[in-house]
Chains A and B, each alone.
Chain A
């Protein structure tokens, strides 16, 4: 094909792709045309043509940039929020259903409305702890840490939760703040604060209805987990791990070699009966089983351990 025809064809294709909103493809075609043009010596006004193409590329890049930097979750109208709340809550029981609706709002980044919905659930005993943890999550996502701490203090002052529940929430909140390197302290003002114990309050299954017992339920994207160690040097403590990989209900953790003492107690087949799962939008509890525990033999993580856990219930 004649070089001039080739360049013209590429430029036409670039324009067509741009009109289709296929901006990367358009940029690719413009660049291909410019590359050919640059290699051809005897072209009248070559520099002007190249500058023209460069201008086009800059314009398309600007469009692409506007898209890539658009707000990820702009505030929606109340009608859209109602739709999200209604259509993305699948639980059948009266308490779990609104909680799921509120979680869906948070997942779609509608934190303001989600907070309102979670707060309205604080009066329902069966879901109030889960609602409170999700309120904390919303504050973390919005980076309104002080507001979150203030809200926690109000729960404390109003006696909304039992001391055990409040301590559970405090540990959760402080853990997330510490993990993100936020130097703020969450404290219980009540003088007779208890030591942390697992609460008996019913934990909500955030993973939707359990009607289809045979089906594998969705597991949210998990960023980290907190395992209540039953054996070993940290028995009775909740130890947090970052999740390095997740595929459905299988999660993988990387554990540094210095934790060898603990690793001994996380052999394949070990049941982990009390795990807290932390996702960007929600925190929930469950159980799992260690499916493999491998010492990494090569590469920069040599000597560390790779632990695979299958989540058995949430």
Chain B
């Protein structure tokens, strides 16, 4: 849940990049860190284990400047995608305000995408959150791998697998090249800030 300080006119929100292991969540944050220097409000922290896999989480603070007089800061996190890190993955999700689900376009990762999405929905439920109500954006990553001969899923297939019921925005991306990374974040920020605004209005 975002921290809203009316006196100081500050909003601090939390966006989590979720998805199967090796799907490109950390790559998204690394690209944001390198590319959007003006918005980056601190160092990126990555806690990795063997083979550069995320062990606990990645953390990247960004500042969006003033929006209607409020100083808006957003903390971007990734979760560890590997199955064995379920407890830390759940912990990172706590108090989330917005989500980017980074799906792997590779055909061989089809089932892993679905398992990860189910895991995310369950973890949200355990926190009393509904996957249908939390601001969520799908990113279909690794679209560029088709050019290298990898069999990949079509966007339509990914939408059918993951987004048939949720019907949230979905964007193709190649995080390694940076394609779609900014657009995904922008879409998620838009939904998250809209949701925070309505929560704030309900609460006031």
Contact = CB atoms under 8 A, between A and B. Distances in A.
A71 B48 CA distance: 11
Contacts of A22: 22, 106, 108-109
Nearest to A64: B51
Nearest to B90: A218
B53 A21 contact: yes
A179 to B, nearest CB: 20
Contact of B128 (A16, A70, A217): A217
A160 interface: no
Q: Chain B contact residues: over half helix, strand or loop, or mixed?
A: mixed
A203 interface: no
Interface string A72-83: 001010011001
B91 A104 contact: yes
Interface in A240-264: 248
Contact of B150 (A13, A21, A70, A87): A13
Contacts, number: 77
Interface in A1-29: 12-13, 16-17, 20-23, 25, 28
Contacts of A248: 125-126
A221 B91 CA distance: 11
Contacts of B193: none
A107 B53 contact: no
A12 B56 CA distance: 32
A158 to B, nearest CB: 34
B202 interface: no
A248 B128 CA distance: 9
A82 to B, nearest CB: 10
Contacts of B108: 17, 22, 25, 28
B138 interface: no
B201 interface: no
Given A17-B108, A23-B51, A28-B108, 10 more contacts: A13-B149, A13-B150, A21-B53, A22-B106, A25-B108, A25-B109, A212-B128, A215-B127, A216-B126, A216-B128
Interface of B: 1, 22, 45, 47, 49-53, 55-56, 59, 75, 84, 87-88, 90-91, 94-95, 106, 108-109, 125-128, 145, 148-151
11 contacts: A13-B151, A16-B145, A21-B22, A67-B49, A70-B50, A87-B75, A208-B94, A217-B127, A218-B90, A218-B126, A221-B87
